[in-house]
Every structure is written in C-alpha cells, then in structure tokens.
A and B are shown apart, each in its own frame.
Chain A
C-alpha cells in the first residue's frame, strides 16, 4: 500500500512539473486538483502505515510459528500463557479506550 501511494505521489510530482505547460486559464485549477490529490495521498500514507504496523506484527508471529513448525517444536505452556496474557492485556486496553471514548 505504501509503495502504491508513493508511486502515485511520484506521478503527481512529475505531473506538477509540467504545470507551466498547461493552458494559463486552467493552470490554477489543475494546481488545486494536484494539491488536493497530494494531501489525500499523504493522509492515505498515514493510514497505510498503520496497516503496515499490523502486517509487521502478523509477519513476526508467522515467522515465529514457521520456525516452530520447521523444527517440529511443540508450544510450551509458558508460551501459551504469554500469548493469552497478551490477549488479556490488549483486551483490557481496548475496553479502557472504548470507555474513555464514551462508547
């Protein structure tokens, strides 16, 4: 997603460079459109960064599970407790945030 947004931003930048070549009566309007598109892409980039954050976490878990599977290692009770502890902590923080937001 970030890659996609970055390429669009590059394309917009390239198009902006050709702005002086646009007919003078449309130049201002085109500049406005390009500016709005750039702002929208910047906002999209912030959102995509969060998606990437989740993707990174899931990729880390997958890598750990892949290593376990490759070595044929069984999950220990401590590891399961740690996983559930993470769920409980996350759930507690989520419910707290929900209550704080008035929902």
Chain B
C-alpha cells in the first residue's frame, strides 16, 4: 500500500458516510394542525392560527433585505388573496358556533323550533365547509412560498 494514511483517512470518511446517508433531508417536520381537528370549528380554529403563524414567518422574510424583491412581491400577492379567505372563514365559523348554540338551546323547545335550528345549523355547517375548502388553496400557496424561501 503506497499511501496507508490516506487509505485510513478514506476509510474513516466512508465509515462516517452512513450517518449522513441515513439522515432524513426533511428532518424538520412541519406540523399540520388541521389534521388533528375532529370537528369543523376545531378545523377552522387550527386553520386560522396556522395561517397567522405562516404570515408571521412571511413578515420576517419581507423584513430580510437579502430577500429578492420579486419574491416579496409574490408573498404580498399571496397574502392579499389568503387573508380575505381567512376573514370569510372566520365569519363562517362564527355563524356555525352561533347556530350550534341555538340548536343546543332549542333542544327543549317545540318540534318546529328544533327543526328550524337544525336546518340553520346544517346550512351553517355547509357554509363553513365551503369556507374551509375555499381558504385551503390560497393559504397553502403562501405557506409553500414561505417554505420555499426557508427550506
């Protein structure tokens, strides 16, 4: 062997390689709080807080002088679409919570009152579902931009 020390160095480097190869590149797991929710109101609550966390990160990026202007502009456009969707979601979830409270209050009332409350709750639930679905894409777009910059 002409270069035993180099061979030992190479062996050590190769021995250390599996430690790197076994590491998950996406080791930082980004949690999705919405999947933990079981009810509509919990989903909306998780979506609003998660969206707020994403905007907070987006703000840090915008404040970074090294971030490209084009990227900041893209963040701005995404936020302008996502925030109104979040506001619609908040209105829908507030209406749902009210309708649910009315339904619970009507449990001891007459049958027509109970039916009216049930119908109102069904409509509020459908609207909340629609608002959740409508908010999903614009919020995900902003989140994807933040992750693209950060990760």
Contact = CB atoms under 8 A, between A and B. Distances in A.
Contacts of B41: 74-75, 80
In this complex, the member of A7, A59, A68, A83 whose beta carbon has the largest number of chain B beta carbons within 10 angstroms is: A83
B54 A101 contact: no
Interface in A1-17: 1-4, 7-8, 11, 14-15
If over half of A's interface residues share one DSSP class (helix, strand or loop), that class is named, otherwise mixed; here it is: helix
B24 interface: yes
A55 B93 CA distance: 25
Contact of B28 (A48, A90, A97): A48
Interface residues of B, number: 64
Given A83-B52, A87-B48, A98-B76, A1 B151 contact: yes
Interface in A52-103: 52-55, 57-59, 61-62, 64-66, 68-69, 72, 74-77, 79-80, 83-84, 86-87, 89-91, 93-95, 97-98, 100-103
A65 B45 contact: yes
Given A4-B23, A55-B31, A94-B59, A80 B36 contact: no
Contacts of B36: 62, 65-66, 69
B150 A51 contact: yes
Interface string B3-14: 001100100110
Contact of A54 (B6, B65, B146): B146
B58 interface: yes
Interface residues of A, number: 53
Contacts of B49: 61, 64, 83, 86
A61 B146 CA distance: 18
B69 interface: yes
Contacts of B79: 91, 94-95, 98
A24 B85 CA distance: 63
B150 A54 contact: yes
B110 interface: no
Given A2-B28, A101-B62, A57 B42 contact: no
29 contacts: A1-B25, A2-B27, A2-B28, A4-B23, A4-B27, A11-B13, A14-B13, A50-B57, A50-B60, A51-B151, A54-B57, A54-B147, A54-B150, A57-B56, A58-B53, A61-B53, A62-B32, A64-B33, A65-B46, A66-B36, A68-B42, A74-B100, A75-B41, A75-B45, A80-B48, A83-B90, A84-B87, A91-B79, A103-B73
